[in-house]
Amino acid sequence: MLKMNIWDDKWDLDVDVCPCDVHFNDWIEAQKLTGKTIYHFGTGTHHVVGIRQAENGSGNRVFAITASKGEYDSYIDLVSENAPVAKCYLAYFGDIYLSDRRLLPDFDVVTMFHLCEFSDYDADAYGGLTDRALLDLMTGRLRPGGHMLFYRNSMGFDRAEGVIADWAKGSAVERVGEYKTLLVYRKR
């Protein structure tokens, strides 16, 4: 039996080391985005994206994935103690590389902050997506005019940069700029 590719650790918020989630919330506010559906790759134990979007009055909804049991347990604790957050923030436990497009709704914003960080496996043997196939899947779920963001300081960005460049050439997307540590694309 093949085991799921999970992350045996957890990520507590350390803005000095990894500010991408905080920068993402700042970007959403700078863009004045409201009423949007967001897919977030990597929750952290802090759940700062889901919490801020649930509590800031924006009406944004966050659907997030974690492959860390510790991060998922912290989500359960969060919504058990703060039920209103659960109305706008849903985190699930899984491997993003096993995503099935039929289970995903359409999104206005997608974060791919951890692209190429967790895909060191034989995709064919595992039955999972490659990083490029994951980008194609998420682009297909992204509404026209929607945004896809990447974290330029990710531990996998040296590999992700080539995947992103290839994706940008072959997809109906355009690079619209940078925001702090984030790289921003928009679907045409």
Q: Mean of the pLDDT values across residues 19-30?
A: 98
Task: Give the pLDDT of residue 13.
Answer: 87
Least-confidence region, from 40-49, 92-101, 113-122, 130-139: 113-122
Residues in the chain: 188
User: What span, in angstroms and rounded, lies between the C-alpha atoms of 27 and 5?
Assistant: 31
Task: Give the pLDDT of residue 4.
Answer: 86
* Residues 6 or more apart in contact with residue 132 via CB below 8 angstroms: 163, 166, 167
In order of their start, the domains of the chain are 20-187 (3.40.50.150)
Q: Let me know if 9 is exposed, middle or buried by CB neighbors in 10 A (0-12, 13-18, 19+).
A: exposed
Task: Give the pLDDT of residue 51.
Answer: 98
Q: Mean of the pLDDT values across residues 44-57?
A: 98
User: What span, in angstroms and rounded, lies between the C-alpha atoms of 50 and 91?
Assistant: 8
What tokens appear for 140 in the block?
């297909």
Decide if pLDDT at 123 tops 80: no
Model confidence band, residue 120 (pLDDT cutoffs 50, 70, 90) = confident
Task: Give the pLDDT of residue 69.
Answer: 97
Model confidence band, residue 139 (pLDDT cutoffs 50, 70, 90) = very high
Could you give the percent of the chain with pLDDT greater than 90? Answer: 86
Model confidence band, residue 90 (pLDDT cutoffs 50, 70, 90) = very high
Task: Give the pLDDT of residue 7.
Answer: 82
Least-confidence region, from 3-12, 23-32, 72-81: 3-12
- The phi, psi pair for 124, rounded to 5°, reads -65, -45
C-alpha 140, offset from chain centre: 15
DSSP 9: S
CB distance 96 to 121 below 8 Å:
no
Q: Beta-carbon neighbour count of residue 126 at 10 Å?
A: 16
Q: Structure pTM?
A: 0.96
